[in-house]
Structure 1
């Protein structure tokens, strides 16, 4: 996948089919848009995703809203789904003040060479969000573009949105979160050195420090899976501050015990998939009590993996 980022000075030679959106979470509503442009590959078009960097929510907001997917995670998903080109268009005041017509003509047409555009029915673009799906339909013929507007998908009567996903994630409802996303919620990052306590206890873990922009589910233990060097392993994961051990300046950490895996992969990138919440984080009386509970969590996790 080609990634165009950090610049507005580019031109795509191939004709493209473009999906426009924020794509936070890349949930099944977003994937309906992606399916539309992926179909156009059969007609010789390059499947292109257009999104802003930073996102409008960050640029116009206070920057504190956590993201369901980091930039790196979005890239991983788009590439896995078969997207050819990802445009992370720089959002600044000049771009934010661009008229809807200028956006369609100067960006979608003249830069991205779009001949097919897929967008959601809640599309908003251009200065003060003046552009919408109806206006895109009106402007598109000037550039010879075909427009496909996708209605919101519903789940049990409610529109699927990033807000909906956030609500389910905050509750620790990982099954519903997975249903809305189309895959299990995951966390990407580099394996870092911890205090080696798990190794001392005979249960070595892979430790990630999540990106500070990443939204996390409730602290506690989860049945999970992990991708390491393109291989999948079942696992048990703890998300939290390790209250039994860390007394001073605790750091949020994602610790994963991978079943039957014993390699040294410090500094390598992994993805941890969270399937089901087992129990909340808790502080134990001592190391032995913690070890006993970890053994129970891992045993339960192994049984879960057999049934999944």
Structure 2
């Protein structure tokens, strides 16, 4: 997959089928949209994604916080800001997912003050037509783009005959009585409703990353673990223990994952995703893993010491074996 990032100056020679969106999470609605551009590969077009980096929502949320200032940005607004900038998929996870799906070209167009002031018509003419070489454009039916988000599908359709592309507006999918959206999925994750989040996503929610070196305390008490340090923007569920699916180089294993700051054995408040892998023995340091969170087991808690922690982990591991035996 070709990635065009950190530049506004590019030109794609091949005709493209372009999907426009934020694609945070690549949920069922996104997958429906992507299927339309992937189908065009059979007609000689390159399947291309156009997205902004950072997303407009994150960009303008950061500006609002900066303008408001720390003194007047209260706890409620801080929570709203954190929700706004949190991501279901990090940039690296998103890139891996697009490549896995068969996307040919990913454009991560820089979002800044200059970009925010591009007129809607210039977005279509200069970027989608001239630079992206779009022959087909698909997006959600609530599409907005250009200065103050004034661009819409009506403008796309108006310019289509002149510029020689076709359009397709994708209607929102619904589930549980609501439109499927990234914000809806984030709400479910923040409530530790991992099964419901998986239904909305069309796959299990996961945290991907390279295995980091830790204190290796788990190995000394009989519970060797692998540790991933997620970036601050990664949307995480409440701190606690989750039963998980661990993906290692195409293989899947059962796991038990603690998300949190490990209050019994650490005082640095660094959030980690620490996983015990059932029936696995091997060195994974530096390797890329995906930890899919299947179900919530219990909240993270501080124990009186390592012995009490070990006793609880024995209980958790047995509960996990019972959980996985039901598969």
Taking structure 1 as the reference length, what is the TM-score of the superposition?
A: 0.96
Q: Does 1:273 align with 2:292?
A: yes
Q: Corresponding residue for 1:45? A: 45
Point out 4+ residue stretches in structure 1 off by more than 4 angstroms.
none
Identify the range of structure 1 (117-126 vs 291-300) with the bigger mean alpha-carbon deviation: 291-300
1:307: Cα distance to partner?
A: 2.7
Q: Which has the higher helix share?
A: 2
Q: Corresponding residue for 2:31? A: 31
Instruction: Give me the whole-angstrom Cα distance separating, in 2, the residues matched to 1:35 and 1:303.
Output: 38
Instruction: Give me the whole-angstrom Cα distance separating, in 1, the residues matched to 2:307 and 2:19.
Output: 53
Instruction: Give me the whole-angstrom Cα distance separating, in 1, the residues matched to 2:145 and 2:283.
Output: 47
Structure 2 vs 1, CA of residues 174 and 13 (structure 1 numbering), >3 Å: closer, same or farther? same
Q: Does 1:285 align with 2:285?
A: no
1:20: Cα distance to partner?
A: 0.2
Instruction: Give me the whole-angstrom Cα distance separating, in 2, the residues matched to 1:274 and 1:5.
Output: 30
Q: Corresponding residue for 2:136? A: 116
Q: Corresponding residue for 1:160? A: 180
Q: How do 1:128-277 residues align onto structure 2 when only pairs under 5 Å count?
A: 128-246=148-266, 248-277=267-296
Q: Corresponding residue for 2:20? A: 20
Q: Corresponding residue for 2:316? A: 297
1:44: Cα distance to partner?
A: 1.5
1:303: Cα distance to partner?
A: 2.9
Instruction: Give me the whole-angstrom Cα distance separating, in 2, the residues matched to 1:234 and 1:84.
Output: 33
> Unpaired runs of 5+ in structure 2?
63-80
1:285: Cα distance to partner?
A: 2.2
Summarize deviations over 1:34-87 as a string: whole Å, max 9, x none: 011111112111111110011111211127421111101111111111111111
1:222: Cα distance to partner?
A: 0.6
Q: Corresponding residue for 2:117? A: 97
> Unpaired runs of 5+ in structure 1?
none
Instruction: Give me the whole-angstrom Cα distance separating, in 1, the residues matched to 2:160 and 2:52.
Output: 20
Q: Corresponding residue for 2:108? A: 88
RMSD across aligned C-alpha pairs, in angstroms? 1.3
Instruction: Give me the whole-angstrom Cα distance separating, in 1, the residues matched to 2:21 and 2:125.
Output: 18
Instruction: Give me the whole-angstrom Cα distance separating, in 1, the residues matched to 2:186 and 2:161.
Output: 37
Taking structure 2 as the reference length, what is the TM-score of the superposition?
A: 0.91
Summarize deviations over 1:204-248 as a string: whole Å, max 9, x none: 0001111111110011011101122232221110101111112x3
- Contact kept in structure 2, 1:120 and 1:133, CA below 8 Å: no
Summarize deviations over 1:82-101 as a string: whole Å, max 9, x none: 11111111112222111111
- Contact kept in structure 2, 1:188 and 1:272, CA below 8 Å: yes
Q: Corresponding residue for 2:89? A: 69
Instruction: Give me the whole-angstrom Cα distance separating, in 1, the residues matched to 2:58 and 2:176.
Output: 30
1:174: Cα distance to partner?
A: 0.3
